[in-house]
Chain A
C-alpha cells in the first residue's frame, strides 16, 4: 500500500493488468514439449535418419499453434500487451541470458551428436530444456513486475 488513495488506485490497476501477463499451466506443458523438440532436433534427426522433413513440419506446427494461441488469448482477454520483450525493462537482461544459454545448449547438443555421442547429447538436452523453461518463467515474472512498476514502454 502507498501513502495516498490515488496511488493505491494506480497500484491496483497495474496489479490487475499484470495478472493478464501470466500463462496457464497448459501453456507451460506445451512450451516444455516444444523446447524438448526444438533443442533436441539434432538428436532426433540422427536417431531417426530421413525424418528431418517430419520434424520440420512438427516445428512449423508448434510455431503456428503458438502464434494462434497468442492471437486468441489477446482477443479473449481484451488486453493487448506489448509483444516485444524489450518493452519490459526488467525482462531484457533475462531474455538475452536465456537466449544465449539456449543457443549455447543447442550448439553443444549439435556438437555432441556430430561426434557420435547421442547418449551424452540426450543427457545434455534435459538441462538445456530446463534452462529454456525456467528462463521463460522468469521472463514472464519480470514482465509482470515491469507492468506493476509502470515501467513498460510500448
Chain B
C-alpha cells in the first residue's frame, strides 16, 4: 500500500495513527476481511475466487490474520472433500471497522486539501 497524506499530519500517517492497523495493509488482507465482514463463514475456494488471488496467497494471509486473532479458521469435510472455512472474530470486526474509519477520514482529508 502506498503512503497517503493524512488528516492529522505525520502522527496520523504513522503506524501508530489512531484507527490504523498496518496488518491490513498487505496483500489482499483488507479485501479478505471486507469479504468476511458480511458473512458468517466463507469457504477457502470461494474466498480465493471472489478475491481473484492464488491458493498460496489466501493460505499465507489467512494464517497471518489468524495468528493476529482477527480470523477464525475451521477445518472439516463435506463428504470426502476436506474443506476450510474462514470467519472474522469480534476483534477482527472491530479492527476492520476502525481501519475503514481511518481510511475514510484519510480520504476526506485529501479531498479537503492542505
Interface residues of A (CB under 8 A from B): 2-4, 6-7, 9-10, 12-14, 16-18, 75, 77-83, 146-147, 150, 152, 154
B45 and A13: CB pair below 8 A? no
B100 and A17: CB pair below 8 A? no
Complex: A12 Cα to B28 Cα, angstroms: 12
User: Chain B residues near A16 (CB, 8 Å)?
Assistant: 35, 50
Known contacts A3-B110, A7-B104, A17-B50; A150 and B34 CB within 8 A of each other: yes
Which secondary structure dominates where chain B touches chain A? helix
A-B contact count (CB 8 A): 79
Known contacts A4-B107, A75-B78; A152 and B37 CB within 8 A of each other: yes
Known contacts A9-B31, A16-B50, A78-B46; A4 and B106 CB within 8 A of each other: yes
Interface residue from B37, B39, B78, B108 paired with A79 (Cβ < 8 Å): B39
User: Chain A residues near B100 (CB, 8 Å)?
Assistant: 7, 10, 150
Closest residue of chain A to B108, judged by CB? Answer: A3
Complex: A14 Cα to B100 Cα, angstroms: 13
Closest residue of chain B to A21, judged by CB? Answer: B38
Closest residue of chain A to B4, judged by CB? Answer: A4
